[in-house]
Chains A and B, each alone.
Chain A
Amino acid sequence: MSVFACRRLSTSRVHHIPLPLFEEATKFFLRKPKIEGATYDDIQLKEPSKDDLAKFSKESGKFLRFLKIWCEEDGRGQQWVEYVKQYDTTGHLTVERDVYLTRDEVSSAMIESGYDYKEVYALETFFSPDDKFHYPEISILFNIDEQHTYEYCMRVRARNHSVVAVKEERRPALVRSYALFFAAVAFFFSYTPLSSYIFIGKLIPSTLLYYFLVFQGLGMPLDAAMRQISRLACEKQMMTVLDGEEAIAMRMRDFAQDGECLKSLNEFKGEAQASLIAYHKALVVRQKQALKEKLSRQLLSIQQAEASIGASLQDVMVRELVKMFRETFPKDAQLQDAALKSAIANIAGDKVQDPIAGKFLSALKDLSAADLEKTKGNEAGTLVERVAAVFQQKEKDFLSNFTVKGEEVSELKQIIAKIKTGTADGYDFKKLDTATSQKLDSLYSSINARMGFDVADERMITVTTQDTMPIHDAGAADFVEAVNAKVAASADKIRTNRLTAFLKAFD
C-alpha cells in the first residue's frame, strides 16, 4: 500500500465492531405492532422472497427535501424529478416495510467508503437515528441499481437477525392441519400390535420421562461447558486477529511518513529553486538596507557633530572671556583704577559707563567681526584668537573623523603609482607585496567605515566546505570542490572590483 492515511478513530464514529456473536434463547416473547394482513417472522428462518414481504405506504417529505439538495449538489437534478414521479398523489411511496437501512447504518457505509465527513454530518444532522431509508431511497440517494440496494438491505437485516413483516398466509378454514395430524396418530395407535393400555399408558410415558430427565441432568452442564469452551476459543481468535491488526496499523502509521518523504522529495527541486531565487533577492535587499542604514547613521553623526560645534561655541566664548578677564585684570592697573572709580561713581549716583563691561562688549564686538577660520589661533592671545584656536581644533577633529586625511591620500597615490598599468583593468594588484596589499586593505576598510559606506566583502560569503562537511559522498564532494573553485575565483574578482573602484576615486 503505497499511499494511505492512518489515524485513531473517535469512539463516536464507531457504530459496531465485529465481535463473535452467541445466540441465546430468551424466555421473553417479542412484541411488535399489529399490522393488518401481515405477520412477523425471522428473516433467517423464513428466508422471504421479495413477494413475501409486507408492503406499506411511506410518507417521505423529509427525505425528498434532503434528496433535492443532495441531487443538486451532485448535478442530478433530473433524477430527482424522475424519482418523485414514483410517489402517489398524496406524497406516499409504497415499498416493502422492512427492507431498509437505519441512519447509522447508512452513515457507517459512507464512512467506510471514503465519503467526506461533511457529507456524513449533513446526513446525520438532517435525519434522526430513528429514521429509516428504504431501498428505493438508498438507490436514488447514491445512484445505485435498486436490485443491488435491495440485496444489501436484506443482507444487513439478516446480519442483525431482524424480524421482518411478511404477508399473512391464511390456511383453509374447514380442515386444519393439526386435525389431520391427530387423526393419523389415532389411527396408527388403534391398529398396531403394541397399542395396548400398558404400552401406551405406562411404558411409553415412563420411558420418555426417564430419558428426558437423564438428558436434562447431563445435557445442561455439558452444553454450558461446550458453550464456554467455544466462546473462549472464539474470543482468543478474535483477540489474535485484533492484535495482528493493531500491529499492522502501528507499522503502517510509522511507514506513512515514507509517503510524505517521497512527496517532499519530488517537490524538493521546485522548492529549492524558488527558495534560492528568494534568497538571492533577500541578499540584495539586505545589502541595500545595510548600506542605507550605515550611511544614515553616519550622516546623523556628522549632523550631530556640527550641531555640537555650534552649540559649544557660546560656551567657549564665555569660558574664554572669563579666562581672559582673570588673566588680564590682575596685570592691568589702569583697568583696575577705572573699575574702582566707576564703582565709586555708581555708589554716588553718577551715571558712568562700566569699563569692565565696556571691555567685554568690545571683545565680543571684535569676535563678531572676526573670521574664525582665517584668524590665527592663539591660546594666550585675544578673545578672538582664543576662540579661533578652540574652533579650529574642533574643526580639525571633525575633519579627522569624517574625511579622508591628506596622508592617507598620499599613501593611496603611492600605491596607485606602483600598480597602475594603463590598461582597461586599470591596476595590477599582483605587483603589490604582502605588506602593501594588507595596507591597501586596511585603508579601504578604515576609509569606507569612516564614510559610512557598507560595501560587499567577499570574506563575508559562506564558504561551502564549512557548510557541507563532512561529506562522504563522492558526487557531492566533487560538486563542492567545483563550487569552492568558483567561489575562490569570484572572490578574487570581487576584491579586484572593489579595490579598483576605490583607487579610481583617488587616481
Chain B
Amino acid sequence: MLNYVPRRTPGVKLLYGKRPVQRIIAGHSKFLIAIPTTTTDKIYEKVDESVYYENNTYNPLQWKDYVKIKLDAQNLIEADVKSALTNLDFYPKIQGLYAGQQSLAEMDAALKMSAKPQFKFPLASGGTTK
C-alpha cells in the first residue's frame, strides 16, 4: 500500500489537463471511467510536490489524506444502497406542487371559457333566444 501519485507534468502524464476529462480503466470488466480534471486536481492539492519517487515519476500523498481516500473507497464498496440520495423528502412536495398547479391551470382555463359563452338557442315555437 503506497501513497504514490503520478505527477501531472507532461514528462510523466503527457496530455494531462489538455482536456477537461481524465479517463481511467478499472477492474476486470475494463470499465472506462471519465473523471473531470477539476476532481482529480483536488487530489493533487494534497500532494507533497517537493518529494519525488521512482525516477521523478511519483509524488507522495499525505498519509492522512491517503488513508481517508482508502476508507472512502472501502465504504463505497461496502455501501449497500443504489444511491446516495436517500431520505429525500422533497418528492411529496413536488408531487403536490405539480398536481396543484395542474389543477389551477385547468380551473383557470375553464373559468376563462365559462365567462362569455355567446350561444343562441332555437325555439320550437320559432325564432331564437336573445
Contact = CB atoms under 8 A, between A and B. Distances in A.
- B interface: dominant SS: mixed
B67 interface: no
B24 A475 contact: no
Residue among B9, B15, B39, B107 with most chain A CB within 10 A: B107
Contacts of A147: 11
B67 to A, nearest CB: 15
B121 A113 contact: no
B10 A404 contact: no
Interface string A286-315: 010000000000000000000000000000
A242 B26 CA distance: 7
A386 to B, nearest CB: 24
Interface in A462-480: 462-464, 467-468, 471-473, 475-477, 479-480
A251 interface: yes
A251 B14 contact: no
B119 A142 contact: no
A251 B104 contact: no
Interface residues on B, range: 35 or more
B73 to A, nearest CB: 6
A445 to B, nearest CB: 14
A271 to B, nearest CB: 10
Contact of A479 (B77, B96, B118, B130): B96
A491 interface: yes
Contact of A113 (B16, B117, B122): B16
B88 to A, nearest CB: 9
Interface stretch (A11-19, A121-129, A198-206, A219-227): A11-19
A451 to B, nearest CB: 6
Contacts, number: 276
A480 B103 CA distance: 10
Nearest to B39: A1
Contact of A284 (B57, B96, B109): B109
A152 B96 contact: no
Contact of B15 (A142, A243, A464): A142
B31 A4 contact: no
Contacts of B110: 283, 456-458, 460-461, 490, 494
Contacts of A268: 94
A152 B9 CA distance: 9
A498 B119 CA distance: 11
Nearest to A252: B33
Nearest to B79: A251
Interface in B63-119: 73, 76-77, 79, 82-85, 89, 92-119
A333 interface: no
A136 B39 CA distance: 31
B107 A404 contact: no
Interface in A295-350: none
Contacts of A480: 96, 99-100
Contact of A404 (B32, B118, B122): B122
Contacts of A244: 73, 77
B32 to A, nearest CB: 4
Contacts of A258: 83-85
Contact of A272 (B20, B101, B112): B101
A113 B22 contact: yes
Contacts of A151: 10-12
Interface string A430-474: 000000000000000001100101011110111110011001110
13 contacts: A6-B33, A112-B15, A112-B24, A114-B19, A261-B83, A284-B113, A404-B121, A404-B122, A406-B125, A457-B110, A460-B110, A468-B99, A473-B92
The 5 closest A-B pairs by CB, nearest first: A246-B27, A476-B96, A114-B21, A151-B11, A114-B19
